[in-house]
Amino acid sequence: MARKSTRKRKATRPRQVSRSALMAFFLLLVALVGAAYAWTQGRSWRPDEATWPDQGALVGAADGPVSFDTLAGLGAHFAYLEASRGAKGRDAGFAQNFSRARDAGLEVGAVHVFDPCTVADGQSANFVTMVPRDSDLLPPVILLDQTAADCPERVSDAAVQSELMTLVNQIEAHAGKAVILAPSEAFEDEYGVSRRIDRQLWLERSWFEPDYASRPWLMWTANRWYKSEAADRPLRWAVVRPL
């Protein structure tokens, strides 16, 4: 017969969590709670009206229904509305938003979203089809977000810059006013719009003033996730640099 071992097994003791590990967990928890609070508070933040009196919103199809009366009641003075995208894209809600924004007493402007993969002629024709000639409109805006990196065929930087300049001239001929260029930081880094085209700039950076252009800007999207009673979805809240 096999002899039974007389050696006793040591009782296993539960591993104690070190004080440093507990402190690290506590600090992480505090950081997460703080970040969640900051995000919640940040969504309702907008620049102080005493310093930035001229404020408004950028509205597009992705924003869903918007109450422009409520927007005006919140202190908005203007609404820029996305009208066209590239050579074929159109905001189906543009005409209705245009009418409702004006009825609410807001100044209205139209936005074209630039497509670097498409020549200027088709894009300007699309904008002209959507946006009426109206001297009371705010200066048109060309939103510059997408770079040529995602184009199905290679498009050189020189070609993008050339087509953009042609588009600027064509839209200005229709509107009778100089355009405002709204490059994202990525687009500015790629094509240097602020150095190459002498037009007013509209930059974006939530909660902090943007500094990625080579010269001062006119407009600033100060909160891309502005949550308000005017819409179920967050809106892009913008301000004009005071004179």
**What are the φ and ψ backbone dihedral angles of 223, each rounded to 5 degrees?**
-150, 110
Q: Determine how β-strand 200-204 pairs with β-strand 180-183.
A: parallel
Q: Is 63 helix (H, G, I), strand (E, B) or coil?
A: helix
Complete DSSP assignment for 154-210: ---HHHHHHHHHHHHHHHHHHHSS--EEEE-HHHHHHH-HHHHS-SEEEEE-TTS--
Question: Which of 23, 106, 126 has the alpha carbon at shortest distance from 66?
Answer: 106
pLDDT tens sequence across 71-122: 999 999 999 999 999 999 999 999 999 999 999 999 999 999 999 999 999 9
Helix (H) or strand (E) holding 111, with range, is strand 107-113
Q: Name the percent of the chain in helix, strand, coil, to the closest 5.
A: 35, 20, 45
Q: How many CA atoms lie within 13 A of 37 on its CB side?
A: 6
- pTM for the whole thing? 0.84
Residues sharing a CB contact under 8 Å with residue 88, sequence separation 6 or more, in sequence order: 122, 126
**pLDDT of the residue at 30:** 42
Region 214-236: what's the mean pLDDT?
Answer: 97
Q: Is 116 helix (H, G, I), strand (E, B) or coil?
A: coil
Q: Which of 31-40, 66-75, 167-176 has the lowest mean pLDDT?
A: 31-40
